[in-house]
């Protein structure tokens, strides 16, 4: 049994084959189709495809105007890519506390961390469970800050009837190998404003606005570059893999949710285990199924003895020197960091796998 599942659909192989035979491998029609499909199938607003989730976060911060000396607020409960994208702009990551039961940024802790130098906030939907986005967006608006969601775990999640990717000004998705939908490596920045999306399209590719350029008699395109751009665009080969994987994504997500329902019923009364809350106003994407346990190492060892993988996936990232050191006053994070552990929930599990995980945990550790 694997902890993560890498899904490549037969349709991905067909489409990738078409791209390989076409003579056009760079960003082109297939990337556009992938972006259109993300919008049409999932309701994501103006997605701009890039070559990683980290590139999407970096681009979102660039469009938010984050620069040297600015502060960006984020939770420690995430993958290092979130914090590194802040450092890439010469900005300062400011870690704010999380809800001790979900690992998601606490809106009140976010509010307390705001200073005159704060420019943006990056809520991370840990494991795929949506953050308190209305509270976070209200505070951000009040203080003139930009919200750049890290939705690397949350493709397909919804918040108060809206898809993740249609709530804040910017939302970053990852299509890395082990995420819900993979392109090999890839990402997308969704933009609530079409004006932002147009700028993002130029800045993902050296800052060149291709729509506004025209070829000269020399064959060279004529354009100016007005803002710093990056080499962050997605290529058509990656987009083909992603496009093929989007088709069966709703069924795969439904399977994850069905498995999670079985887990929640089975673990409702297990001593030493606490289920994170599940609010009725949002739908979980279940990239992870995380529980809070006592004696975590014993829990992991017990599952390992039955060939079931369990993992903390990521411990708090403020422990890395590059970010400047641990904030010991973050009580919610400290508590979450000590107790959180995830069990397999992906669509590659058989019914027998799910039953053996349930039986192992119910028998104690
Ligand atoms: C995977 C991930 C990223 C980075 O995505 P890449 O595509 O690997 O760059 C960022 N944040 C979180 C929370 C992730 O899980």
The DSSP string of 99-141 is -TTT-PBPHHHHHHH--TTEEEE--B-GGGPPP-HHHHHHHHH
Quote the tokens at residue 292. 């809070």
On whether the CB atoms of residues 96 and 142 are closer than 8 A, the answer is: no
pLDDT of residue 216: 81
User: What are 201's two structure tokens?
Assistant: 């399209």
* Residue 296: closest CA among 282, 310, 281: 310
Retrieve residue 169's tokens: 């000004």
How close is the Cα of 270 to the center of ligand 1, in Å? 32
- At 344 the pLDDT is 98
Find out whether the beta carbon of 51 lies less than 6 Å from any atom of ligand 1: no
**What's this model's pTM, rounded to 2 decimal places?**
0.97
Level-2 CATH architecture, domain 10-248: 3-Layer(aba) Sandwich (3.40)
Tell me the pairing of strands 118-121 and 71-74: parallel
Domain with CATH 3.40.640.10 in the chain: 10-248
Helix (H, G, I), strand (E, B) or coil at 3: coil
Catalytic residue status for 231 = no
Tell me the chain's radius of gyration from C-alpha atoms. Answer: 21
Residues above pLDDT 70, as percent of the chain: 100
CATH architecture assignment, domain 250-362: Alpha-Beta Complex (3.90)
Any atom of ligand 1 within 6 Å of the Cβ of 183: no
Closest ligand 1 atom to 174 CA: 7
Residue 323 C-alpha from the chain's centroid: 20
Q: Ligand 1 in contact with 187 (CB < 6 A)? A: yes
- Percent helix, strand, coil in the chain, to 5, is 40, 15, 45
**Residue of 31, 66, 317, 43 whose CA lies nearest to 186:** 31
Phi first, then psi: give them for residue 351, nearest 5 degrees.
-60, -40
Residues 330, 336: contact at Cβ < 8 Å? no
Using DSSP bridges, classify how beta strands 187-191 and 214-215 pair: parallel, antiparallel or unpaired: unpaired
The pLDDT tens digits of the residues spanning 31-71 come to 999 999 999 999 999 999 999 999 999 999 999 999 999 99
Packing angle between helix 296-305 and helix 351-362, nearest 10 degrees? 130
Residues of the chain with pLDDT under 70: none
In angstroms, the Cα distances linking 101 to 19, 133, 337 are: 45, 17, 10
Across the beta sheet with 71-74, what order do the strands follow?
Answer: 47-50, 187-191, 170-174, 146-150, 118-121, 71-74, 92-95
Please choose from 174, 234, 317 the residue to mutate so as to test ligand 1's pocket, defined by most ligand atoms within 8 A of CB: 174
Nearest to 188 by CA among 151, 225, 138: 151
The reply to whether ligand 1 has any atom less than 6 angstroms from the CB of 150 is: yes
Where, residue-wise, is CATH 3.90.1150.10 in the chain?
250-362
Number of Cα atoms under 13 Å in the Cβ half of residue 78: 33
Q: DSSP label at 234?
A: P
């Amino acid at each position: 049994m694997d902890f993560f599942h890498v899904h490549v659909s037969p349709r991905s192989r067909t489409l990738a084959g078409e791209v390989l035979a076409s003579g056009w491998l760079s960003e082109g029609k297939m990337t556009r189709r992938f972006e259109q499909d993300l919008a049409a199938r999932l309701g994501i607003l103006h997605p701009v495809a890039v070559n990683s989730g980290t590139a999407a976060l970096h681009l979102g911060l660039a469009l938010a105007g984050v620069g040297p000396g600015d502060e960006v607020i984020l939770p420690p409960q995430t993958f290092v890519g979130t914090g590194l994208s802040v450092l890439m702009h010469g900005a300062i990551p400011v870690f704010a506390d999380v809800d001790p039961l979900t690992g998601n940024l606490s809106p009140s802790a976010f509010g307390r961390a705001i200073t005159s130098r704060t420019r943006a906030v990056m809520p991370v939907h840990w494991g795929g469970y949506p953050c308190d986005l209305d509270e976070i967006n209200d505070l951000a608006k009040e203080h003139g800050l930009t919200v750049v969601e890290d939705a690397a775990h949350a493709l397909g999640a919804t918040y108060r009837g809206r898809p993740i990717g249609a709530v804040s000004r910017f939302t970053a998705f990852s299509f890395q190998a082990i995420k819900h939908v993979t392109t090999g490596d890839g990402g997308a920045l969704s933009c609530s404003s079409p004006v932002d999306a147009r700028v993002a399209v130029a800045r993902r590719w050296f800052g060149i606005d291709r729509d506004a350029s025209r070829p000269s008699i020399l064959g060279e395109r004529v354009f100016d570059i007005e803002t710093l751009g990056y080499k962050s665009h997605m290529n058509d080969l990656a987009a083909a893999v992603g496009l093929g994987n989007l088709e069966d994504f709703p069924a795969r997500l439904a399977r994850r949710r069905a498995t999670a329902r079985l887990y929640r019923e089975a673990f409702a009364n297990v001593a030493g285990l606490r289920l994170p809350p599940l609010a009725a106003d949002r739908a979980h994407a279940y990239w992870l199924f995380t529980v809070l346990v006592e004696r975590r190492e014993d829990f992991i060892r017990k599952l390992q003895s039955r060939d079931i993988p369990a993992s903390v996936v990521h411990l708090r990232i403020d422990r890395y020197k590059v970010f400047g050191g641990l904030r010991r006053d973050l009580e919610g994070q400290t508590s979450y960091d000590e107790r959180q552990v995830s069990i397999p929930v992906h669509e590659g599990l058989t019914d027998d796998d799910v039953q053996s995980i349930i039986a192992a945990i119910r028998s104690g550790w």
